[in-house]
Amino acid sequence: MAEARFNGLLIGGLLALAYLAPGPARAADSIKIGLVTDLTGMAYLLAKDNGEGAKIAIDEINRAGGVLGRPFELLVRDSALKTDLGIAAARELVLDQKVNFLFGSISSAVRLAISDVAKQYKVPMVDSVGGSRRLVEDRGHDYFFELSLTTRTEAYGQAVGVSKLKGKKIITIAPDYEWGRLEHEGFLQPLKKLRPDIEVVGEFWPKLGEKDFTPYITAMLTKNPDMIWSALWGGDFIAFVKQAKAYGVFEKVTFIGTGEPSALQALGLDAPEGIYAFDRAPVYAIDTPAMKAFVNAYQSTNGRLPTAWVVFGYEAVQLVKYGLEKAGTDKPEAWIRAVKGATVPLLRGPITFREFDNVSNSPVYFGRLARDPKYPHLILKDIDKIGVEPSMISVEEVKRLRDAAR
């Protein structure tokens, strides 16, 4: 019932068929962005925040008169973590609504399918979530732009952070589906090179949406690891933490997991202090004037910190705006030429897109969870900002993967 009430609110707000700021600019043809995302199911909080960030950016742009003399319009569809719904929604947005740009879902599988639609109909797509490396590697194409992190770049940043920790025996736990498998692969491959002395003494693969982690926790402890690395996210991470605390896991083992505010805000001060964690955009630690202004405005309106998902939704619209202004037109090929290889000023600072495959050099932030009197939840402290360029495979390797996938 709670989820039904929540989704009902979304239908009245974010999940309205179209969002367009009122005013004289409405008379002009709008620049349409189609957002297909997972507003039903376990990812709905992430999807809500991501869409909210896009809506905030569009509000600001439209109040300032739009871009190229035209307002932005956001059309939102719910893919509900289902590939067939994502494909149908993307096609409807492209063929019936004539959107100029597509934004993708939380699910990597759904996003891969939407990306295929973008390629087929030659509509630029901005990934404001991040996920499977396949999005920019074997399934990548000129119309797809990766604003966030992939399983290769994100997991590499974690491997760099973990390589500096003490201990030689490590256990991994990751959700048993494609993203979890690729994140696990992306973590262990560089870790073994950075720390060949580390031994993996156990791998655990709970299903996505697992409720009872007790069998996994007890099995882990019997192996006496020095470290546990977790790729659990959302409700899975929250459930694992609550159950693991009862077994004293965080006092016995060096634990590495997510530091994303969605989970930390849900856990509050019950989150385990002192564990190591990573985040894609810890807004309280990114010292750019644009981010400071954004965080202050968001907190004054919402009473909480914006999550990374809000930030990336906002930045996706910033990226669209940048390309339109640079190209001076909404023609897809001109927009693509304007953004390929560009260094774009965003909330997090300048982000560069590699010219061949449109993958960004978005960094990973790695630190330890600690209390701060300014916040009702734990935040990352002693943060190391880790560049991900060393993890990017060569252009030649990307070409080989794409050729093999044809």
CA max distance for the chain: 67
Average of per-residue pLDDT values in the chain = 93
Rg of the Cα trace of the chain? 21
The CATH architecture one would assign to domain 153-279+364-391 is 3-Layer(aba) Sandwich (3.40)
Whether the pLDDT of residue 190 is over 80: the answer is yes
How far is 204 from 232, CA to CA, in rounded Å? Answer: 11
Q: How many CB atoms neighbour CB 211 within 10 A?
A: 11
Q: What is the pLDDT of residues 347-390, one digit of tens each?
A: 999 999 999 999 999 999 999 999 999 999 999 999 999 999 99
Task: Give the pLDDT score at 276.
Answer: 98
Whether the pLDDT of residue 9 is over 60: the answer is no
Report how far apart, in Å, the C-alpha atoms of 89 and of each of 92, 111, 112, 220 are: 5, 12, 14, 42
How far is 306 from 119, CA to CA, in rounded Å? Answer: 32
Answer yes or no: are the C-beta atoms of 296 and 306 closer than 8 Å. no
- Decide if 2-149+287-362 and 153-279+364-391 have a common fold: yes
Q: In this structure, which CATH number among 3.40.50.2300, 1.10.10.10, 3.60.150.10, 3.40.50.11750 belongs to the domain 2-149+287-362? A: 3.40.50.2300
Q: What integer is the mean pLDDT of 123-134?
A: 95
Report how far apart, in Å, the C-alpha atoms of 312 and of each of 23, 44, 48, 112, 180 are: 27, 16, 12, 18, 21
Whether the pLDDT of residue 28 is over 60: the answer is no
Instruction: Flag the least confident range among 242-246, 265-269, 321-325.
Output: 265-269
DSSP H helices in 149-260: 151-163, 178-194, 214-222, 234-245, 249-252
- Nearest partner of 384 among 271, 291, 276, judged by Cα: 276
> What is the token pair recorded at 42?
């376990």
Whether the pLDDT of residue 1 is over 50: the answer is no
Whether the pLDDT of residue 10 is over 80: the answer is no
User: What is the pTM assigned to this prediction?
Assistant: 0.92
- For the chain, which residues make up each domain, given as ranges? 2-149+287-362, 153-279+364-391
**What single-letter amino acid sits at 189?**
Q
How remote is the C-alpha of 80 from its chain's centroid? Answer: 17
Residue that the structure tokens 């008379």 belong to: 27
Angle at CA of residue 21, ends 16 and 25, nearest 5°? 135
